Structure formats: C-alpha cells, structure tokens
Structure 1
Amino acid sequence: MLVMPWAVAAENGSALRATVNLSLGGAGMLLDNAVAKAISEGVHPCIAVTDANGYLLAFKRMDGAAPGCVEAAIKKANSAAINDVDTVVFYDLARKENLQLGSIPGILPAVAGVVIRQKARAVGAIGIAGGASDAQEQRFATELVRAFEKTLPAPHP
C-alpha cells in the first residue's frame, strides 16, 4: 500500500482526525524510480523522500554525487513537506521580492523540493540535489513526482 491513514485522537478523546502520509513502501518505490531515472539520464544526484510532516523516509546518494548534496536533498524535501509548497516557489520569491526569505527557519529557497499529492492532499515530498543545473534538478523532481502521483490510490474519505 502506498499511503496509509494515521488516526490521531483529539485531546478530549471524542473526535478523530485522519491524516495521510506516504508509507515506507511508497517512499521506496519512488526512490527506486528516481534511481532508475538518474541512471538512464546519466546524472548522479542525492535523493530524499519524506512523509507529509517532513520526516525522512528514504534516501540515496548516487555514486559520483557532488559533495554537500546529502543535506541539501534532505532539506529540500523537508521544506517542501512542512510548508506544503514546492521549494521553487520560495526560490522565485527570494530572487524577485525577499532576499531574506531563506533566513526563516524551515523555508529553503531552492529548486527541486516537490510536494507529493494524493489528489489535492499532501502525503510527502522529494528533494533532489547535485544535478547538472537548477533547471535539470527541478525537471527531474517534478517529472518523478507527477508520474508517481498517478499510481496513488484515491484517498479514503
């Protein structure tokens, strides 16, 4: 199963709020897809997959990956997940309007942190670092996520 509901009891115990997160199995599938795509494209990135809360589920550092891409990939995925927005949005805002945006904890103005959605609901994120260019990293991450999203089952009500 790719995503799993996680029921959280309210403090008074009278209500439940269901949330959905990417499972370890789903993260592994996405990571396998990313590695296969990287090999086919001849690139050597670091790849991080988190759940919707930004917690790391799966990670790979490809042979030949650039130094420093480990932390960058993880931070990209975390920032996208906890803010429920692709990090390229922060990147564009920082470049055009607010250079200090990156000083806010949890916000990383960078490319290639992409939210994974099951219908409209965020279930996780991926972060890619160490690509040939910003444009290549963003395309790589976006293509991976959009193809993966098509495999996700419809969310439970």
Structure 2
Amino acid sequence: MRSIVMLDAADARMLIDRAIAAASAIGVPQNIAVVDAAGALLAFHRMDGAKPYTADFAIAKARTAAGLWASTAQLAEVALPGQRGFGLNTLRGGEVAVLGGGVPVTAAGKVVGAIGISSGTVHQDADIAQTAVQEFEALAARAQPTEPAR
C-alpha cells in the first residue's frame, strides 16, 4: 500500500496568503486558485480589483500544472510553433493552459497540487505563483519531522 501526501484546506489557505502577499507587494490584484494533485479545486480567492474574466484562467493554470507536473511557463516555451509541444494548448478541449502562472506544489518529490495565478501580465502571474510555492514548500519542509539518526 502507498501513502499519499495531499494538500488540504489549510495548505491551500497558506498558498493563497503567500500569493496575496506577493501580489500586494507589486500592486497587482490577482485571481488565485489552488488544486489538489487530481486538479480538483481546493480554494479560490479573487483579490479586490482582479480582472473577473481571468478567474477561469487561474483555475486552468493550476489544473494544467498539477496534471502535467510542470509550470505553465515551461509549457508555454515548448508549445510554440516548431517546438516539440506545439498544439499542447488544444488538448482536452482547450483546457490546457500554456500561459505562465501555474506552478506545481511538491512534497517528498511528488506533485501534490498546484497554484494558478491570473490577472497581471504573464510574467507577473508566473513570478507570484513561483514565490507562493517556494515560500510554502520551505515552510512545509521545516514542519516535516525528520528521521532519527541510526
């Protein structure tokens, strides 16, 4: 039997809080989505002033990052014409997002979920998502009990 590490509601709140702080620091209100490893929505937050239409983009970015185990910024690079992933964005009825702002969350080397950010520029979205995940993973790593020395 395998043990599975999963994000929970408290983890999702921590990720959202970190994304809000990063977005506030640069003055860009955002739509923020957190999904589990299967792409199921755990939490969503739209900051005051975020573009309402991009809420669905944040969710799509998070689902794409969780499902493909890669940041959507990385996927954007391989989805360009002439690249090995060209047309990736047309899969699953166009649900695959290839705009920066989706970043997988990992624990013990496994993808356990993802965050999606949308409402700023693609670079702002990607930077905020990356910052939130790095800060969350650093906190989670410090909270993990360590194995006793043998």
Structure 1 and Structure 2 fold alike (TM over 0.5): yes
Conserved in 2, the CA contact under 8 Å of 1:118 and 1:155?
no
The two structures have a TM-score, normalised by structure 1, of 0.81
2:91 alignment counterpart: 104
CA shift digits 1:44-73 (9 cap, x unpaired): 110001111111111111111113111000
Q: 2 CA distance for matches of 1:49 and 1:129? A: 12
Are the counterparts in 2 of residues 46 and 129 from structure 1 also a CA contact under 8 Å?
A: yes
Label 1:41 to 1:102 Cα distance change in 2 as closer, same or farther (>3 A): same
Q: In structure 2, what residue type is equivalent to 1:137?
A: D
- Contact between 1:83 and 1:107, CA under 8 Å: does it hold in 2? no
Structure 1: 5+ residue stretches without partners? 1-15
Q: From the superposition, tell whether residues 155 and 120 of structure 1 become closer, same or farther in structure 2 (CA, over 3 Å).
A: farther
Structure 2 residue runs of 5 or longer lacking an equivalent are none
- Measure the CA separation in 1 of the matches of 2:119 and 2:145: 33
CA offset digits 1:100-124 (Å, max 9, x no partner): 2211115321111000111311111
Q: CA deviation at 1:156?
A: 9.3
More strand by share: 1
Aligned-pair identity in percent equals 37
The 1:156/1:82 distance shift into structure 2, 3 A limit, reads farther
4+ long deviations beyond 6 Å: none
Q: By percentage of residues, which structure has more helix? A: 2
Structure 1: distance between partners of 2:6 and 2:145 = 11
The residue identity in structure 2 corresponding to 1:120 is: G
The number of residues matched between the two structures is 141
Higher relative contact order (CA 8 A, sep 6+): 2
**Residue 126 in 1 paired to residue 115 in 2?**
yes
CA distance in 2, matches of 1:143, 1:116: 11
